[in-house]
């Protein structure tokens, strides 16, 4: 069971209903990251209610709209102080999702009569759709942008910065790209997950976001790096378990955390002059490279550990493969037609 650190979320801790809601998710096996996100998001909403003198249990949709307006006018925590453009649509949508799930629980427990953060009803205007068909629409529209990936020059700068890193960080970087791994999957690798004979890495269900096992290959270069790091790791600890260990005095020989890995990647990105680069960029890049190489959609989905291929389609679009192939086919047909007509005239 997850030990929730209530001191980090004082307003959430004060409310019995919010404590019960979070504890239920923790008892049902939600990941620590999920619990932390829920607790922080709910604490933020309760802080807004306190400032605006709103009783959360009797809040109305107009109060939720005021909360959205408040989020949209805040300074972005990672941006310059003079930036008053507000939080991103994705962040606002995430906060609203947490609030909606919380109110779902309150309605289920008969603490509230209705959910003020529920999705709105939207009647389709498309005349080709079934008359009167209604679906649920999010309160905030989130533009679906393609993920950013580095170009060849930026990739070269990142690799130059990586050269200055110790074996551990270089191996984590290599595994993350080879297997298109999420940061929790990279940090959660255990020695027993690696099959050096076949250069295969098992991603266990308990560290995977999709909660099922998958096996991914890794390159020969990564294999060589793994052997070098393994001898270095033995100096820290000879016990089996997590592969990547901390080398700091404070947490020496302790498993590395996702926050430490994020700091490593941030340092590499800043040194390379590519601030957009994050721990998830390597996953985006690897899956896009597979799409560029012509790997079919289902195989990419299995490799990535996606539950639905619709999630994987973004990498097909990002690679430009379908568009390029369609344009090439069209150009070939047009080119053949023009050559044929010119030939008839010139003969």
Range in 115-129, 218-232, 275-289 the model is least confident about: 115-129
Q: According to CATH, where is 1.10.443.10 located in the chain?
A: 152-321
pLDDT digits (tens, 9 = 90+) for 83-97: 456 788 888 889 999
Q: According to CATH, where is 1.10.150.130 located in the chain?
A: 6-137
Structurally, at CATH architecture level, domain 6-137 sits in: Orthogonal Bundle (1.10)
Range in 80-94, 138-152, 262-276 the model is least confident about: 80-94
Higher pLDDT: 189 or 81? It is 189
Cα separation of 308 and 132, whole Å?
Answer: 29
Per the confidence metrics, is the pTM higher than 0.85?
no
Average model confidence (pLDDT) for the chain? Answer: 85
Structurally, at CATH architecture level, domain 152-321 sits in: Orthogonal Bundle (1.10)
Q: How far apart are the first and last CA of the chain?
A: 83
Report whether pLDDT(121) > 50: no
Cα separation of 203 and 181, whole Å?
Answer: 9
Cα separation of 288 and 175, whole Å?
Answer: 16
What's the distance, CA 129 to chain centroid? 33
CA distances from 180 to 185, 215, 269, 286 (A): 10, 11, 18, 6
pLDDT over 70 percentage in the chain:
82
Helix/strand/coil percent split, the chain, to 5: 55, 5, 35
pLDDT digits (tens, 9 = 90+) for 15-63: 999 999 999 999 988 888 889 999 999 999 999 999 999 999 999 999 9
Cα separation of 90 and 138, whole Å?
Answer: 12
pLDDT digits (tens, 9 = 90+) for 167-200: 999 999 999 999 999 999 999 999 999 999 999 9
What's the distance, CA 156 to chain centroid? 24
pLDDT digits (tens, 9 = 90+) for 211-262: 889 999 999 999 999 999 999 999 999 888 999 999 888 889 899 999 999 9
**Crossing angle of the two packed helices 281-292 and 297-304, in degrees rounded to 10:** 160
């Amino acid at each position: 069971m997850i030990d929730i650190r209530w001191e980090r979320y004082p307003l959430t801790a004060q409310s019995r209903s919010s404590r019960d809601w979070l504890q239920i998710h923790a008892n049902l096996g939600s990941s620590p990251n999920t619990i932390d996100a829920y607790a922080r998001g709910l604490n933020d909403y309760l802080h807004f209610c306190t400032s605006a003198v709103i009783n959360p249990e009797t809040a109305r949709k107009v109060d939720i709209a005021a909360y959205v307006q408040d989020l949209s006018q805040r300074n972005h925590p990672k941006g310059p102080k003079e930036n008053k453009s507000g939080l991103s649509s994705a962040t606002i949508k995430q906060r609203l999702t947490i609030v909606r799930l919380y109110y779902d629980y309150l309605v289920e427990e008969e603490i509230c009569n209705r959910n003020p953060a529920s999705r709105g009803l939207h009647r389709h205007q498309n005349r080709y759709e079934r008359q009167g068909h209604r679906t649920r629409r999010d309160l905030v529209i989130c533009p679906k942008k393609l993920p950013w990936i580095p170009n060849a020059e930026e990739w070269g700068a990142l690799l130059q910065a990586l050269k200055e890193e110790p074996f551990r960080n270089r191996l984590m970087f290599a595994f993350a790209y080879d297997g298109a791994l999420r940061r929790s999957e990279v940090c959660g690798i255990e020695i027993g997950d690696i099959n050096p004979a076949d250069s295969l890495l098992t991603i266990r269900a308990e560290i995977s976001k999709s909660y099922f096992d998958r096996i991914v290959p890794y390159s020969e270069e990564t294999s060589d790096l793994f052997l070098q790091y393994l001898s270095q790791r033995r100096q820290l600890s000879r016990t089996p378990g997590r592969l990547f260990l901390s080398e700091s005095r404070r947490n020496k020989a302790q498993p590395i955390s996702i926050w430490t890995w994020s700091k490593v990647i941030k340092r590499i990105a800043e040194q390379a002059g590519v601030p957009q680069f994050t721990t998830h960029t390597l996953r985006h890049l690897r899956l896009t490279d597979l799409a560029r190489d012509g790997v079919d959609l289902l195989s990419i989905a299995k490799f990535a550990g996606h539950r639905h291929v619709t999630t994987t389609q973004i990498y097909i679009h990002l690679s430009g493969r379908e568009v390029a192939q369609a344009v090439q086919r069209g150009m070939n047909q047009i080119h053949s037609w023009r050559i044929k007509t010119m030939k008839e005239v010139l003969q």
